[in-house]
Chain A
């Protein structure tokens, strides 16, 4: 696609582009910038092919646009009755009509051919160095490293922008928004630079879409089905994207962040993550104090539960169940453990409580303990240990 590149250079040379800073030679920062007028700077081969294709098509479209509307506006200014112009009577001309059918057809072919190569390249997920499974869930992403260095690593990735920066109707945000507002997560996907990463996607509940604009990747995550796509990031950096398929109320609040690091940094991250996971795995046998569980549970609640059940535990009438004063939360703990692990469809609300079995035993125990001792709840069975959750899983 050298001619597309040449046209791109030609385009940059145009005074128009030179006068608009955001359009000329974009800086690679992996997220949108203010007053951005063009696609994000590409970080992969595919993304830069898309960038060039888009530039090439824009040039062709602008040329046609100027030509066609040049004629139309010339006619509008010259062929008016107020200037005394008399109407001609000509109509129909086989030659002209053939020409304006065939020429656009050829132009369209000129656009489709370079695109074909990119389509084929985008679908080629073979020979990947690393395979990662991404699972879309309402409203977060789960990642499992399936194959390659780091195999076995798995974690959930939640929006880390505090709700205090978002605000809510009638309540002003109490914190100043950072530059990565709604584009930051607690656990980033970490991948090595210049390695082909195959992404396998599925979803737990509804369709979501995994997207990083700088990679030129967007792929729906479909419940019950597996789709794949790939990227090979060529520059170290942090790249941000957002869920791109309407998935319910928190659709705008489940971003995707990929951190591209050097091979050495990646190995170090894998080692650290494995150690962390091993530490978590030991948890079930440990007996926790109620305060430890409550502190941990508050964090788990803020990350996973607050979107539906709300910070005050009151839920949303008609949409999400209240936990404050709930019979389940104040009743026998076995039932609450069961609902958290297996989900529940009471039929009383349009959406159902999803299963949370992907959380660790300690997380489930902590969040249950938290709900049983918070707000106005004073459950008789007020503490749940990770071991009980582990037992309930079997």
Chain B
């Protein structure tokens, strides 16, 4: 399909119809209409990122409420039923509201710039896939105020607990449906853009790593989001229409819910980390001033991780009591993922080796990512071993593990990407001092929060507990103190880094990083409203 030239012409022809016709080269609609009817990939990318920041802050407030209650044993602030709503909504908001939309925002902004396309393939669908998200967020917010409150079944929404929930559960199901539809449309857009709209000469194996990881992620999303939709739809019909998919009394099986959910849920965790790998793989060569050590093996490792992610889901369910053969199969398959993940880490270190490194904030976050994410990788390997997993399942060890890969992994990579590309987005350089403040505070407070959770989990503290035995007090206090430090660091990021950088600051050159490579640095900063209307030639 060589339709890329047709798409470009099409995109240009449409522009005047939704903007000021007199200024069609550089102008764009203003005010609310610019955002509501946005079809420009940069505007939509910006919308996604603002949405993600808003959700990150709301999810963070929920997390701080959880940590406040857990500062000491006993019930001080919240009833346990409300506490369960907090843990559930914190998970849903962070996974579906913050991390995933943030990466889609990055994809919208950067993929067309990186492959030399004028826009995303389906501009109007792009608009729709973003504008599905605010209603979903609204449903989740409203759910706190309906009788019985928000769903309190955990972000995994296990049956049959989910059938006991009030109308908040139905709102969460509809919200997830909307966010799932949004993700699927976003993914289709990304796949088509990458496969059909690359500039002449940009072969697949010349693509920047961020595009590669998103291409693979988009396929994962298209494969598994419908599975989640199926699982929650069955929950919905079990709740209201008398079906018994997960109700044993009617011939159903509660464990089947878990199989279906985790068939979605495990690829989902790679959906949240693969684009992070891509961002880090672009930043390291730029600041080491040395090409990525093994480009091809990075691509193959990413693809291997994606394929393996489909055959490991039941390692989340070792405690359900599977037959011994299943336990062994899922243990071996899970441990196998350590191999391609190791290849990635070794590649990054080899890229840094004998480079000429400088440590601006993007590089700090990228190196911080490798260091802390690898700890999460190791605890993942330890959890893959069935007997140890059974000991640690549903304890704070698991909480520590997935925050090491999701916060220190995905979130740190997003920060790295922000510092790396924000000159291109805003046309201003962020303050290096403030960037470093943000980095060191995030790194230190993150570890103060989550490192003690390993010990709590090993000692046996179960997760999703509103109250705990007094022996766990000290580490919980430490974690709460760390959480507030981490939360304040992110408020600092928003108010002292993001907003000031948008409002002003030193003028950014087209290519602020001397070691950076890629088409995005060939356009001015800030990137004009329309870029690559004539595709560049890649040699």
The residues of A with any CB-CB pair to B shorter than 8 Å are: 31-40, 46-47, 49-50, 53-54, 57-58, 61, 64-65, 68-69, 71-72, 75-76, 79-82, 85-93, 96-97, 100-101, 104-105, 108, 111-112, 115-116, 118-120, 122-123, 165-169, 173, 177, 179-183, 201, 205-207, 209, 211, 213, 216-220, 222-225, 227-229, 241-253, 316, 318-319, 349-352
Given contacts A166-B74, A252-B80, 12 further A-B pairs with CB under 8 A are A40-B459, A75-B353, A76-B367, A100-B346, A108-B336, A108-B339, A123-B323, A213-B459, A220-B320, A242-B469, A245-B394, A350-B165
By Cβ-Cβ distance, the 4 closest A-B pairs, closest first, are A224-B248, A227-B321, A350-B166, A36-B459
Complex interface residues of chain B between 468 and 484 (CB less than 8 A to chain A) = 468-475
Q: Please measure, in the bound complex, the distance between the C-alpha atom of A32 and the C-alpha atom of B338, giving whole angstroms.
A: 31
The residues of B with any CB-CB pair to A shorter than 8 Å are: 73-81, 84, 147-148, 152-154, 158, 160-161, 164-166, 247-249, 253-255, 288-297, 319-321, 323-324, 327-328, 331-332, 335-336, 338-339, 342-343, 345-346, 349-359, 367, 370-371, 374-375, 378, 381-382, 385-388, 390-391, 393-395, 455, 458-462, 464-475
The answer to whether B455 touches A36 (Cβ under 8 A) is yes
Question: Which of A35, A179, A183, A229 is the one whose CB lies under 8 Å from B474?
Answer: A35
Residue of B nearest to A105 (CB): B339
Which A residues touch B75, using CB under 8 A?
166-169
Which A residues touch B359, using CB under 8 A?
76, 80
Which B residues touch A216, using CB under 8 A?
387, 390-391
- Given contact pairs A81-B356, A100-B343, A92 touches B385 in the complex (Cβ within 8 A): no
Question: Which of B289, B354, B393 is the one whose CB lies under 8 Å from A75?
Answer: B354
Which A residues touch B388, using CB under 8 A?
50, 53-54, 57, 115
Question: Which of A32, A82, A96, A247 is the one whose CB lies under 8 Å from B161?
Answer: A247
- Can you show 22 pairs from A to B with CB atoms below 8 A apart? A32-B469, A36-B455, A38-B459, A39-B391, A57-B388, A68-B346, A75-B353, A75-B355, A79-B288, A86-B356, A87-B355, A91-B290, A100-B346, A104-B342, A115-B331, A119-B387, A173-B74, A181-B469, A213-B460, A222-B248, A246-B161, A248-B161
The answer to whether B470 touches A115 (Cβ under 8 A) is no
- Given contact pairs A61-B382, A88-B354, A112 touches B335 in the complex (Cβ within 8 A): yes
The answer to whether A244 touches B462 (Cβ under 8 A) is yes
Residue of B nearest to A108 (CB): B335
DSSP majority for the B interface?
helix
Which B residues touch A252, using CB under 8 A?
80, 462, 465-468
Which B residues touch A211, using CB under 8 A?
460, 462
The answer to whether A177 touches B470 (Cβ under 8 A) is yes
The answer to whether B319 touches A169 (Cβ under 8 A) is no
The answer to whether B324 touches A80 (Cβ under 8 A) is no
Question: Which of A68, A71, A177, A245 is the one whose CB lies under 8 Å from B374?
Answer: A68
- Given contact pairs A91-B293, A223-B248, A81 touches B358 in the complex (Cβ within 8 A): yes
Give the distance to chain A from B340, nearest Cβ to Cβ, in Å. Answer: 8
Question: Which of A65, A79, A116 is the one whose CB lies under 8 Å from B357?
Answer: A79
The answer to whether B331 touches A245 (Cβ under 8 A) is no
Q: Which of A53, A179, A224 has the most CB of B within 10 A?
A: A224
Q: Please measure, in the bound complex, the distance between the C-alpha atom of A36 and the C-alpha atom of B462, giving whole angstroms.
A: 15
The answer to whether A50 touches B391 (Cβ under 8 A) is yes
The answer to whether A119 touches B349 (Cβ under 8 A) is no
The answer to whether B358 touches A82 (Cβ under 8 A) is yes
Q: Please measure, in the bound complex, the distance between the C-alpha atom of A216 and the C-alpha atom of B465, giving whole angstroms.
A: 20
Which B residues touch A38, using CB under 8 A?
455, 458-459
- Given contact pairs A169-B76, A244-B462, A88 touches B342 in the complex (Cβ within 8 A): no
Number of A-B contacts (CB under 8 A): 323
Which A residues touch B395, using CB under 8 A?
244
The answer to whether B471 touches A65 (Cβ under 8 A) is no
The answer to whether B352 touches A72 (Cβ under 8 A) is yes
The answer to whether A222 touches B254 (Cβ under 8 A) is yes
Question: Which of A72, A112, A116, A207 is the one whose CB lies under 8 Å from B254?
Answer: A207
Question: Which of B291, B328, B374 is the one whose CB lies under 8 Å from A65?
Answer: B374
Residue of B nearest to A123 (CB): B324
- Given contact pairs A46-B387, A108-B339, A207-B254, A87 touches B78 in the complex (Cβ within 8 A): no
The answer to whether A87 touches B354 (Cβ under 8 A) is yes
Which B residues touch A223, using CB under 8 A?
160, 248, 254
The answer to whether A111 touches B469 (Cβ under 8 A) is no
Which B residues touch A207, using CB under 8 A?
158, 160-161, 254
Which B residues touch A220, using CB under 8 A?
319-321
Give the distance to chain B from A47, nearest Cβ to Cβ, in Å. Answer: 8
The answer to whether A122 touches B387 (Cβ under 8 A) is yes
Q: Please measure, in the bound complex, the distance between the C-alpha atom of A127 and the C-alpha atom of B390, giving whole angstroms.
A: 22
Residue of A nearest to B388 (CB): A54
The answer to whether B378 touches A65 (Cβ under 8 A) is yes
- Given contact pairs A104-B342, A252-B80, A244 touches B357 in the complex (Cβ within 8 A): no
Q: Please measure, in the bound complex, the distance between the C-alpha atom of A239 and the C-alpha atom of B325, giving whole angstroms.
A: 30
The answer to whether A79 touches B356 (Cβ under 8 A) is yes
The answer to whether B459 touches A97 (Cβ under 8 A) is no
Q: Please measure, in the bound complex, the distance between the C-alpha atom of A244 and the C-alpha atom of B387, giving whole angstroms.
A: 16
Residue of A nearest to B460 (CB): A213
Question: Which of B80, B324, B354 is the one whose CB lies under 8 Å from A79?
Answer: B354
Which A residues touch B335, using CB under 8 A?
108, 111-112
The answer to whether A246 touches B84 (Cβ under 8 A) is yes
Residue of A nearest to B248 (CB): A224
Q: Please measure, in the bound complex, the distance between the C-alpha atom of A72 and the C-alpha atom of B353, giving whole angstroms.
A: 7
Which B residues touch A349, using CB under 8 A?
148
The answer to whether A218 touches B474 (Cβ under 8 A) is no
Question: Which of B382, B469, B475 is the one whose CB lies under 8 Å from A54?
Answer: B382
Q: Which of A64, A101, A169, A246 has the most CB of B within 10 A?
A: A246
Q: Please measure, in the bound complex, the distance between the C-alpha atom of A165 and the C-alpha atom of B461, giving whole angstroms.
A: 19
Give the distance to chain B from A34, nearest Cβ to Cβ, in Å. Answer: 5
- Given contact pairs A31-B471, A209-B394, A219 touches B319 in the complex (Cβ within 8 A): yes
Give the distance to chain B from A198, nearest Cβ to Cβ, in Å. Answer: 13
Q: Please measure, in the bound complex, the distance between the C-alpha atom of A122 and the C-alpha atom of B475, giving whole angstroms.
A: 31
Which A residues touch B345, using CB under 8 A?
68
Q: Please measure, in the bound complex, the distance between the C-alpha atom of A104 and the C-alpha atom of B304, giving whole angstroms.
A: 15
The answer to whether B290 touches A88 (Cβ under 8 A) is yes
Question: Which of A87, A224, A243, A244 is the one whose CB lies under 8 Å from B288?
Answer: A87
Give the distance to chain B from A107, nearest Cβ to Cβ, in Å. Answer: 8
Q: Please measure, in the bound complex, the distance between the C-alpha atom of A86 and the C-alpha atom of B354, giving whole angstroms.
A: 8
Residue of B nearest to A228 (CB): B321
Q: Please measure, in the bound complex, the distance between the C-alpha atom of A33 and the C-alpha atom of B475, giving whole angstroms.
A: 12
The answer to whether A79 touches B381 (Cβ under 8 A) is no
Q: Please measure, in the bound complex, the distance between the C-alpha atom of A37 and the C-alpha atom of B84, giving whole angstroms.
A: 27
Give the distance to chain B from A148, nearest Cβ to Cβ, in Å. Answer: 21
Q: Which of B74, B292, B387 has the most CB of A within 10 A?
A: B387
The answer to whether B390 touches A218 (Cβ under 8 A) is yes
Q: Please measure, in the bound complex, the distance between the C-alpha atom of A254 and the C-alpha atom of B52, giving whole angstroms.
A: 38
Give the distance to chain B from A58, nearest Cβ to Cβ, in Å. Answer: 7
Which B residues touch A179, using CB under 8 A?
470
Residue of A nearest to B367 (CB): A76
Which B residues touch A120, using CB under 8 A?
324
Which B residues touch A33, using CB under 8 A?
459, 471
Question: Which of A87, A119, A168, A225 is the one whose CB lies under 8 Å from B324?
Answer: A119
The answer to whether B390 touches A75 (Cβ under 8 A) is no
The answer to whether A246 touches B153 (Cβ under 8 A) is yes
Q: Please measure, in the bound complex, the distance between the C-alpha atom of A235 and the C-alpha atom of B103, giving whole angstroms.
A: 53
Residue of A nearest to B467 (CB): A252
Which B residues touch A37, using CB under 8 A?
455, 458-459
Q: Please measure, in the bound complex, the distance between the C-alpha atom of A182 and the C-alpha atom of B464, giving whole angstroms.
A: 15
Give the distance to chain B from A258, nearest Cβ to Cβ, in Å. Answer: 14
Question: Which of A89, A100, A111 is the one whose CB lies under 8 Å from B381?
Answer: A111
Give the distance to chain B from A218, nearest Cβ to Cβ, in Å. Answer: 5
The answer to whether A206 touches B319 (Cβ under 8 A) is no
Residue of A nearest to B385 (CB): A115
Which B residues touch A229, using CB under 8 A?
321
